[in-house]
């Protein structure tokens, strides 16, 4: 049976499944659960693929791998992938709300101990004749360096994404964490200049993560520019080790999530601002997802993603706000990020 048929079958039976492809790989993996199962703890009862929300007070979903059928497949496709740019219809009320939200965030940063806050919005798109697997294949072709996924659970419905950011990779007690922030559009070169605001925003992320996990014997790389689809970001890599005397993976995840790149600084102040001022529920946007096994993990931040319910897709996009942010530029950044999902629909 083909991957597409497995997807159709599990959707019909309302059984959880996930299909994913890691960056720079042509091989994809699918886990199709045979029975409903859900647990929210990071401390596992067995290997699982976890799908966690932005707000860690809400329920995480998971697929127990021992109860799922595993399928490996080739993600290469002969589908014609359109390279044209999407012409955006600017919804005036949506633009005004986001610009005003950003201004409120800037004012709060200037008047309080808040240093950075990541503010997001939700964009609605009609997706008639939507085929989940074909859309997944398009994402794989368009974003070869991203972690691309298609997830379904009856409690969450369909989610899809192409995220450039890994939360944590753990193997043999050694872990890698990615500090990713700042955005500009790709113009055929990685040799670009970054403004003070963008460099400051990224350094906030590096400093915060380093401070939170400095007892794990960490090393921090130099900052460099990376490409994710049609966008560029600043990135640094932080490596560390979970020793026998240190706390475990669950503690490490709780310290990192939500990250400064998806929430802000300080974390609790930024999170409170988001929950009290954004006019929608982020759900699993800026949460994390990936495989958890005994002594190993490969988890990604849920960015560049959308939720699909029937003929309606909700695209989630946002950006980091500091005291030097410009509200109009922040709006345009979310428009650019929305193209990542719009271009495959």
Q: 45, 247, 30, 58: which is closest to 151 by C-alpha?
A: 30
Annotate 75-91 with DSSP letters as a single string. ----PPPP-PPPPP---
The residue ranges of every structural domain in the chain are: 3-81+122-182+201-257+282-315+333-342
Tell me the pTM: 0.88
Higher-confidence position of 337 and 147 = 147
Q: Which CATH architecture has domain 3-81+122-182+201-257+282-315+333-342?
A: 4-Layer Sandwich (3.60)
3-state secondary structure of 205: helix
With beta carbons less than 8 A apart as the criterion, state whether 148 and 333 touch: no
pLDDT on residue 82: 52
Q: What percent of the chain has pLDDT over 90?
A: 69
Helices 249-256 and 196-212: angle between axes, nearest 10 degrees: 150
Phi/psi at 252 (5° precision):
-60, -45
| Structure token pair of residue 163 | 């995220």
Taking only the tens place, the pLDDT of each residue in 237-292 is: 999 998 765 568 888 999 999 988 899 989 999 999 999 999 999 999 999 999 99
pLDDT on residue 88: 47
With beta carbons less than 8 A apart as the criterion, state whether 230 and 336 touch: yes
For the segment 305-334, the average pLDDT, to the nearest whole number, is: 94
Q: Give dist(CA 63, CA 47) in Å, integer.
A: 9
pLDDT on residue 75: 86
pLDDT on residue 79: 61
- In sequence order, the 6+-apart residues with CB closer than 8 A to the CB of 313 are 124, 125, 126, 127, 130, 306, 307, 341, 345
Please give, one letter per residue, the 3-state secondary structure of 41-56: CCCCCCCEEEEECCCC
- In sequence order, the 6+-apart residues with CB closer than 8 A to the CB of 185 are 230, 231, 232, 336
Q: Examine the pLDDT at 131 and tell me if it is beyond 80.
A: yes
The contacts found for 208-212 with CB under 8 angstroms, 24 or more apart, are 208/260, 208/265, 208/267, 209/177, 209/179, 209/238, 209/256, 209/259, 209/260, 210/238, 212/255, 212/256
Taking only the tens place, the pLDDT of each residue in 170-196 is: 998 899 999 988 889 899 999 999 999
Q: Examine the pLDDT at 118 and tell me if it is beyond 90.
A: yes
């Amino acid at each position: 049976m083909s991957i597409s048929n497995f997807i159709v079958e599990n959707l019909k039976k309302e059984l959880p499944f996930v299909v994913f492809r890691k960056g720079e790989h042509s091989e994809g993996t699918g886990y199709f659960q045979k029975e409903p199962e859900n647990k929210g703890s990071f401390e596992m009862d067995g290997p699982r693929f976890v799908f966690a929300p932005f707000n860690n007070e809400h329920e995480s979903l998971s697929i127990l791998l021992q109860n799922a059928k595993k399928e490996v497949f080739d993600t290469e496709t002969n589908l014609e992938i359109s390279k044209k740019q999407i012409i955006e219809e600017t919804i005036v009320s949506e633009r005004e709300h986001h610009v005003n939200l950003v201004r409120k965030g800037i004012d709060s940063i200037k008047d309080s101990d808040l240093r950075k806050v990541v503010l997001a919005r939700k964009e609605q798109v009609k997706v008639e004749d939507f085929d989940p697997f074909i859309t997944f294949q398009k994402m794989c072709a368009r974003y070869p360096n991203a972690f691309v996924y298609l997830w379904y659970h009856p409690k969450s419905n369909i989610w899809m994404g192409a995220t450039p950011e890994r939360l944590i990779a753990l193997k043999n007690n050694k872990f890698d964490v990615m500090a990713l922030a700042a955005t500009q559009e790709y113009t055929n070169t990685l040799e670009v200049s970054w403004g003070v605001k963008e460099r400051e925003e990224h350094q906030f992320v590096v400093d915060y993560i380093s401070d939170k996990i400095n007892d794990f014997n960490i090393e921090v790389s130099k900052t460099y520019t990376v490409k994710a689809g049609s966008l560029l970001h600043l990135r640094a890599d932080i490596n560390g080790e979970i020793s026998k005397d240190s706390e475990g993976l669950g503690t490490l995840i709780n310290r990192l999530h939500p990250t400064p790149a998806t929430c802000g600084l300080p974390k609790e102040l930024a999170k409170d601002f988001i929950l009290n001022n954004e006019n929608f529920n982020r759900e699993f946007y800026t949460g994390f997802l990936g495989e958890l096994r005994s002594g190993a993990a490969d988890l990604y931040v849920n960015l560049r993603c959308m939720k699909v319910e029937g003929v309606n897709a909700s695209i989630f996009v946002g950006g980091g706000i500091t005291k030097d942010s410009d509200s109009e530029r922040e709006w345009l950044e979310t428009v650019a990020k929305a193209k990542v999902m719009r271009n495959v629909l």
